[in-house]
Amino acid sequence: MKNWLMKSEPDAFSIDDLKKAGTEPWTGVRNYQARNFMRQMQPGDRVFFYHSSTAVPGIAGLGTVASAPYPDPTQFNRKSHYFDPKATREQPRWDMVDVRFERKFGNVLALSTLKANEDRLEGFGVLQRGSRLSVMPVTTAQARELLKMAEENDGQ
């Protein structure tokens, strides 16, 4: 099982929205590096759900990859904001997975907390300079620390 971090702006789609939806198709990723990571995903992989562009950015909870990668249908939809005129059904450009809600942290594991514990998270993507990727791999060691930090952060 691999671990991943996926970003979302909570104004657009939050951990609460994922909880309500149960499972959500993760449409709209239009960055090749992020797409390539999604292509490596397998059902059962763990997802750290990150809230970006918000008052308290950070990891809000956990999800699970709930499908194999498949073509993002919004790339074919002229009316979609994510329409890509260069994509065809024969040769899709953009892939995605479904993500299922797992649990919401009691408290958001804030970016400021992650930064304060940088020594426990060597090489963690979110803390790398200039990192803007919306989908990133998380190592097993980082995942273990993040889960521990989430527990500490929730006062357990």
Partner DNA sequence: GCCAACGTTGGC
**Residue 7 has what DSSP assignment?**
E
Q: Quote the least distance from Cβ 128 to DNA, whole Å.
A: 7
Q: Quote the least distance from Cβ 52 to DNA, whole Å.
A: 4
From candidates 89, 130, 155, 156, binder to DNA by CB under 7 A: 130
129 near DNA (CB under 7 A): yes
From candidates 23, 31, 36, 140, binder to DNA by CB under 7 A: 31
How far does Cα 39 stand from its chain's mean position? 13
**Touching DNA, residues 46-105 (CB under 7 A):** 52-54, 57
9 near DNA (CB under 7 A): yes
Q: Using CA of residue 111, residue 114, residue 116, residue 122, what is the dihedral sign? A: negative
Q: Quote the least distance from Cβ 155 to DNA, whole Å.
A: 23
Helix (H) or strand (E) holding 112: helix 111-116
Structure tokens at 8: 């979302």
Around 7, how many Cα atoms within 13 Å sit in the side-chain half-sphere?
A: 19
Name the residue nearer to DNA (CB basis): 13 or 25.
13
Only one of the segments 27-35, 41-49, 65-73, 116-124 lies at the binding site for DNA (rule: CB under 7 A); that segment is 27-35
Count of residues binding DNA (CB under 7 A)? 20
Only one of the segments 11-19, 40-48, 71-79, 124-132 lies at the binding site for DNA (rule: CB under 7 A); that segment is 124-132
The closest of 65, 53, 77 to 134, measured between CA atoms, is 53
Distance between CA atoms of residues 101 and 89, nearest Å = 29
| Cβ neighbours around 142 below 10 Å, total | 20
Residues that bind DNA (CB under 7 A): 7, 9, 30-33, 52-54, 57, 111-112, 115, 126, 129-134
